[in-house]
Structure 1
């Protein structure tokens, strides 16, 4: 299975979050991303949040430098 990642640096936030997460499975990455979104960004865990986060997954690993904001 290919490595995937999600990177908060792509989305400006009031806390200027610089967290990037990566994993070898979609499920593992999704669970980590949901936990981060709930604890750090105060989102509520919902099917909508999970679908939104999953749509933000990228193949590979996060870049070392900050990516361009979305």
Structure 2
């Protein structure tokens, strides 16, 4: 992959851009999409676990709740 990537430099030799073959770019985009979806699922799973933990703490009397009206009044 790296052998087919071209770097564009300015007059001082500082790299300013990269040219990537389209097939490689499409593979990068596909992998990015896959990783983004995987991260979103992991974040959702963590939030769900937090909710379950909070519910259990509430049932044990270790977590206090607030009425929905109070929450809506904050909006």
* TM-score, normalising length: structure 1: 0.25
Larger radius of gyration: 2
| Greater helix fraction, Structure 1 or Structure 2 | 2
- Higher normalized contact order (CA 8 Å, seq sep 6+, divided by chain length): 1
* TM-score, normalising length: structure 2: 0.24
